[in-house]
A and B are shown apart, each in its own frame.
Chain A
Amino acid sequence: MSIYKSAIQKPVTTALIFVAVIVIGIYSFLKLPIDQFPEMDLPYITVMTTYPGASASEMETNVTKIMENALTSVDHLKHITSQSKDNISVVELELEWGSNMDEAVNDVRSFVDMAANNLPDNCAKPVIFKFSTSSMPICQYSITADETYAGLDKILNDEVVPQLNHIDGIGNISLSGAPDRYVYVNIDQQKLDAYGITLEQVGQVVSANNLNLSSGTIKMPQEQYQMQVRSEYIESSEIENLMVAMTPQGQQVFIRDIATVKDTIKDLSLDEKTNGREAVRLIISKQTGANTVQVCRDVRAELAKIQKQLPTDVKIEKIYDSSENIQNSINSLEESVLYALLFVVLVVLFFLGKWRATIIIGITIPIALIVAFIYLGLADSSLNIISLCSLTIAIGMVVDDAIVVLENITRHVERGEDPHEASIYATNEVWVSVIATTLVLVVVFVPLTMLNGMAGIMFHELGWIVTVVCCTSTLVAISLTPMLCSKLLKAKKVHVDENGNLVDDEAGKKGWYDRTVVHMLDVIDEYYAKSLGWCLRHKALTFLILIAFFAASLIPVFAGKIGTDFMQEQDNGRLTVTVKLQRGTRIEETLKTARKLEARFVELVPEIQLINTSAGSNDDASIASLFSSTMNNKIQMTIRLPKKWERDRDIWTLAEILRQEMASYPEINEYQCAVSSGGPGGDITVDLEIYGYDFDKTSQMAEQCRQLISQLPGARDVNISREDDRPDIKITVDKEKASRLGLSSATISTYLRNRVAGMACGYLKDDGSEYDIVVRLMEEDRNSISDILNLSIPTATGKTVKLSEVAAVGEYWAPPTIERKARQRIVTVKATPYNTTLGELAKAIETEVIPQLDIPVGYSTHIGGDVETQQDTFSDMILLGLMIIMLVYIVMASQFESLRMPGIIMFTIPFALSGVIIALWLTGRSLDMIGALGLVLLVGIVVKNGIVLVDYINLMRERGYELNQAIQMSGRSRIRPVLMTAFTTILGMIPMAVSSGEGAEMWQPLGIVVIGGLTVSTFLTLYVVPVLYGVMSRHGDRDKQEALRKKFIFMNLKVKKGDEK
């Protein structure tokens, strides 16, 4: 028994099966996490190798090169880049998106193990580090305090962090700029020398008096006790009163005599300020697979609770919360989905004019959507931008199948059949063709799931969702829809009058719907049939007009009006400003500039809600410091602005204002003002890569490029990736002198470290926390080169010598970090497009900058970055588009069993392109990855209209109508369904195209592309397809009759007498 027959005969079962589906769907929906993008493994693997004592260039030759050579054979490798710094080499592998990362890490590990034998002896074992989205911070808070600032570290570590750690799914919590408590013993060099004491002696005294030691057990007659020496410091002031040495004169030297003990917060090296107040930044990341929105919400709630327990001057403020952006995007998309649903239902109501029919159609939408949630639940995915966009796309399409079935059933019912029987037989007539049209959509969307690269990860989900939704809608159309029709549709009201004649109760009755809408549609039908007749009579002229239109629509492309982008930048209300001052600038000087900038920024952009500034560097590197590289001469600011609908100026204008301000400071060397994009690509830039071995030459070329690119009107934030040479103080040990004194370079370096950086001498324990005790020289004795030369170094004989006696001190420029890509040294000049598109900026750089460069032999340039990804994606898309066209052709050819008919239908695709170009040109948008996706989708949506039309013309031809008459009749009869399906899709996309919510920049192009393409192609399909059909089939059909006559020759036989029966 067929599915529709069972469904109609078992209405209860059918209805309840769908109720069950809805229940499971709602359950999955409630369980679905909310995220920005589908889960993706970032295909980056980092191999970090340390080799203590090696300089950057030594690192490059001895470690990085070896690692790179070994790692180039890793499967699916896309790019290999490396950084060689003093002591450390970092090789980063970028694999193809979508590679299996676990496998890749194993692969990398085996190559690293193989290469490890070739590494220098002192080299540490290379560490393999997989980069994952969960290690990126999901929210940051700033905690400011006035009086309690000094104790903030303890408050945070004892109260805030432990409470936050209870939250489900929370990952790493790190604090940046927290004031660490330190006990410093600052020694006066001269006094040390005067007493003949070494710094190490002081250190040993400090350590030796800070002990807890077990000293055996004491057995008493009855009991047994553990004996312990407990002499740990309880207060830092105890240190002052320790005796260090005795002078030959018998005088005792206490620490207080030679040094000051300071129980204070750590020396300033990283400065955090929020709106000018001392601040600590709380950086929170989530565990892999945890729900960002949920974790952020819990963090918010928990912080609100904690706030109450904290001292009143401690304030917790949000710097950014990535969940807000996600939540807002999802909300505005959900809104789009609901509006699309409403519009689609209204279109159906408009065309059908019957509320019962509209309900039957409308009910397929939520069911199809809910099945999508079940799919998402089973696939462990989430409610994200991609999945919701897919739903919006699908909404317009899901009703088509149900409409076809319903229309046929209604036709039968209006002829006077019983709705129950009509439902069975009418469905039987159309169910195969309903499945066939769905197949066309499936072949468009399934290939999307095979796309590679980053686009592949994003469109994988889209492909499946639309496929699942369309298949569900087909299933609903041939089961639930006929069932509902059999129950809800009313048979025509008739009765037998007194004369025994049948009277139609509804004949002659005309409601307002029939008078207005039906009348209007009739007029449209009439007009269309007439114009189509004209076109059929003037085929050549029609084609000329159409081709002229197509050619004219291409003008904006050749005129360069349509740019290309990778992905639209989003206005998330967050700016990241990076400022680099003159190299070697002291942190205190950097801070002065930072304060000036903050003040000016607030003046210029009163919209600013919060500025978080960090400057300097934190030496104890945490995971979070991977994401914010600050140095003494670098300032990094995160600026929070109101949501875009709460302010008049858009973020790009504001960024430009800040850039102009920064350009006017002479002390600022480089600046960057990035509009943080939520996308996985981060900031969108064009990278000009310069390859070459010689530092001076490539640096010079980079600088030349920077200047040339800066002159381009569309380029902003032009920066060179190579760090400037760093000024170092280099100490050269005279080995002969040193060894005579019993010293080695190693001991000298230890002594130096103890004196300048400090000697760690145990901990001061207070309330369960441990604070470092550091013994070092006071600052005045170590802040100039002459001070350094004057340092006293203990010799093997117990005497002291000055450093100047065994070593020379000089200033020296340390080589920069050596960056390499594809095993060559590289400098990258990055530029951000402003008021232009990525593609145009890349082209401008290629045509205007590169020719002006004087590139020596052995040096080369290459344009990379997001442009490269964009080009890769577009070429993938083109390939995909061609594949889809092939598959659609195959499906249609098999459906019509003709090689010609699909050709006729496919002729409409170029007109969809015209529509897209016109729409982009009118809205001033550029074609990006999402828009290109829309273009691919159009192929499927557009041909559907053509199929409906050609199918009907074929039918009319088979019924024996003359060609032109058949075409005109079909056109007249099919214009309504064609307009209806087109309108449902177009109106379904409108909320997406006009939405202005957060993140809307990203999916707007999709809406614009589909609406433009579909509008133009639908209109033209109505003329192109019939006319082309007319041109292509007349000849063939005459031949067909001739062939038939030749085939059946038996009619020409003569019957002889006697043969007859």
Chain B
Amino acid sequence: MKNEVNRAQGAKKSVMIVFNQANTGRVEYMLDVLGIHGFTFFEQVQGRGTNGGEPRRGTHAWPEMNSCVITVVEDEQVPALLESVKKLDLRNEEVGVRAFVWNIEATV
């Protein structure tokens, strides 16, 4: 069995999309349209935004919850993905979606 480690030289980026649960269908559709196949999905994550983002804590006061998708994509795919996320945000700003990008150091 092969057991080699790929040293990535900025070839891949990790994009974390945090979004209101209500956006789940749209996010999945977006990924399908962009042809992004792989992702890891976290359900029921809590959080609050720095710039006016409404808290999502699942409490009585802030009952809503977020979900989060981390997808590892090629460098070239990142702008299109971010643009789509922006579109989604524009569609309904109050529901809320954010995306963050960082580098992939290594994969197995």
Contact = CB atoms under 8 A, between A and B. Distances in A.
B35 interface: no
Interface string B6-27: 0000000000000000000110
B87 interface: yes
Contacts of B92: 1050
A1053 interface: yes
A436 B1 CA distance: 42
A1050 B1 contact: no
Given A502-B1, A1044-B29, A1051 B84 contact: yes
B60 interface: no
B29 A1053 contact: no
A1048 B87 contact: no
Contacts, number: 31
Main secondary structure, interface of B, reads helix
Interface string B78-103: 00001110111011100000000000
Contact of A1059 (B29, B84, B88, B90): B90
B90 to A, nearest CB: 5
Nearest to A1053: B87
A1051 B86 contact: no
A1011 B69 CA distance: 53
Contacts of A1050: 26, 87-88, 90-92
Nearest to B86: A1055
Interface string A1018-1056: 000000000000000000000000001000111101010
B108 interface: no
A1060 B25 CA distance: 23
A592 interface: no
B25 A1051 contact: no
A1061 B86 contact: yes
A1055 B33 contact: no
A1048 B82 CA distance: 17
* Of listed B33, B82, B86, residue having the most chain A CB within 10 A: B86
Contacts of B73: none
B30 interface: yes
Given A1055-B86, A1055-B90, A1060-B86, A1048 B26 contact: yes
Nearest to A1050: B91
A365 B29 CA distance: 47
Contacts of A1060: 82, 86
Contacts of A1061: 86
A1053 B91 contact: yes
B91 A1055 contact: no
A1053 B93 CA distance: 13
A108 B2 CA distance: 90
A1053 B84 CA distance: 9
Contact of A1055 (B1, B30, B87): B87
B50 to A, nearest CB: 12
Nearest to B28: A1048
A389 B82 CA distance: 67
B21 to A, nearest CB: 16
A475 to B, nearest CB: 30
B86 A1059 contact: yes
Contacts of B88: 1050
Contact of A1048 (B1, B29, B83, B90): B29
A1049 B91 CA distance: 8
A1053 B33 CA distance: 14
* Of listed A502, A1050, A1053, residue having the most chain B CB within 10 A: A1050
Nearest to B84: A1051
A1061 B92 CA distance: 16
A957 to B, nearest CB: 16
B67 to A, nearest CB: 17
Contacts of A1055: 83, 86-87, 90
Contacts of B29: 1044, 1048, 1051
A1059 B82 CA distance: 12
B55 to A, nearest CB: 20
A502 B1 CA distance: 8
A119 B91 CA distance: 91
Interface string A498-513: 0001100000000000
B85 to A, nearest CB: 9
A182 to B, nearest CB: 98
Nearest to B88: A1050
A531 B64 CA distance: 53
Interface string B33-72: 1000000000000000000000000000000000000000
Nearest to A1056: B90
Contacts of B33: 1051
A480 to B, nearest CB: 32
A762 B1 CA distance: 114
Nearest to A501: B1
A904 to B, nearest CB: 27
Contacts of B1: 501-502
A800 to B, nearest CB: 114
A1059 to B, nearest CB: 6
Nearest to A1060: B86
Nearest to A1044: B29
Contact of B30 (A502, A1049, A1051, A1059): A1051
A208 to B, nearest CB: 106
B30 A1053 contact: no
Contacts of A1059: 86, 90
A502 B83 CA distance: 46
A231 to B, nearest CB: 106
Contacts of B26: 1048, 1050
A1048 B25 contact: yes
A500 to B, nearest CB: 9
A336 B51 CA distance: 76
A502 B91 CA distance: 53
22 contacts: A501-B1, A502-B1, A1048-B25, A1048-B29, A1048-B30, A1049-B91, A1050-B26, A1050-B88, A1050-B91, A1050-B92, A1051-B30, A1051-B33, A1051-B84, A1051-B87, A1053-B87, A1053-B90, A1055-B83, A1055-B86, A1055-B87, A1060-B82, A1060-B86, A1061-B86
Q: 7 closest Cβ contacts across the A-B interface?
A: A1050-B91, A1053-B87, A1048-B29, A1055-B86, A1050-B87, A1050-B88, A1053-B90
